[in-house]
Structure formats: structure tokens, C-alpha cells
Amino acid sequence: MFFLNFLFLMGLIMGLVVVSSNPSPFFAALGLVVVASMGCMVLVGYGGTFLSLILFLIYLGGMLVVFAYSAALAAEPYPEGLGSPGVLVHAVVYFLGVFAGGAVLLDGWYEVSWVPVDDMSEFSVSRADTWGVGLVYSSGGGMLGITVGALLLTLIVVLHVVRGLSRGAVRAV
């Protein structure tokens, strides 16, 4: 189980490096799919099956729509691929930064401190990850509204920034 979670965490790091080092939104969307799926698989490994399913559906349903819009607005005739020299240099620098940060912070982190959610309570009627969902809707309604407003503002800002001087694929007909 430890080896499987290690593979998922490495896939998560590789997806984050692809998203952060790639200037083209086409390949960044592929990296986001990898990041979302690997992050949800890490949550499944530690007992959060319901939470990972909800996060996966919401993330891919909502945030990839933003990337589809930005990819349509920033239609490049020749986008840079993952093997381009500039993108490759950025990816190597980001990998080295992640591993250097991991080496510095390795002293205080141990695998035994990560406990699956189901091992926290002895005889429970419901799963632990569903308690958090109920708490979000009962006590966190105001924060949920603020988050929705922030995501809407982010969508508007991203669309205005990506549009730039040329309209790309979206033009007045």
C-alpha cells in the first residue's frame, strides 16, 4: 500500500510540474487531469472515497471548463509541446526544486504519521469522510458562498487576461 501511494504522489508531482512548466493551455489541461486523478487516488488510499469522488467530479467538471475557454481564446497556431527546450528546462528546475524542498523537510515527516480515515474511530455507523461534507453544508454555508464568488471572479479574470490583444478563436462575426 505504501508503494502504491508513493506512485500516486509521484504522479501528482509530475502532473504539477507539467502544469507549472508548460505555457500552452492544451498540455496544461492534460497535466490538470493527471493532478486531479492522482490526488484523488491518494485520498482513496487513505480512506476518503466519497470525498475523492466529489472532488474529482467538481474539479474536472468546473475547472476544466475554464481551461477549455482559455484554450479557445488563446488559440496558438504552434503551441509549445512538453519536449520543447524551454519547457524542458523549466520542468527540470521545478523537479530539482521539489526534491530539494523534500530533502530539507524530510526530517520531520514520517510515513507512520499518515493514518487512514477509517482507523480513527472504533465502531462508527457512517464513514468519516461523509462527516466533513455534512459539516460544510451545515456550518460552512457562508464560506461556500464566498468560495463560489471567488471562483466566478477567477473565471472572469482568467478570461480577460487570456484574451489579450487578439481575440483568438472567438471573434465578432
Residue 96 pLDDT grade (very low, low, confident, very high; cuts 50, 70, 90):
very high
Q: Write down the pTM of the prediction.
A: 0.62
* Domain interval for residue 140: 2-163
145 falls within a domain: yes
DSSP conformation class of 101: H
Q: Is the pLDDT of residue 70 over 80?
A: no
User: Residues 6 or more apart from 88 whose CB is under 8 A from it?
Assistant: 82
168 falls within a domain: no
In this structure, are residues 120 and 128 in contact, taking their beta carbons and an 8 Å threshold? Answer: yes
152 falls within a domain: yes
Of 61, 44, 60, nearest to 52 by C-alpha is 44
Of 58, 23, 67, 28, nearest to 158 by C-alpha is 67
CATH code of residue 103: 1.20.120
What is the tens place of the pLDDT at every residue in 139-163?
777 877 888 888 888 878 777 776 6
Task: Annotate 70-91 with three-state secondary structure.
Answer: HHHHCCCCCCCCCCCHHHHHHH
62 falls within a domain: yes
171 falls within a domain: no
Residue type, 173: V
29 falls within a domain: yes
Residue 168 pLDDT grade (very low, low, confident, very high; cuts 50, 70, 90):
low
- Number of domains, the chain: 1
Residue 106 pLDDT grade (very low, low, confident, very high; cuts 50, 70, 90):
confident
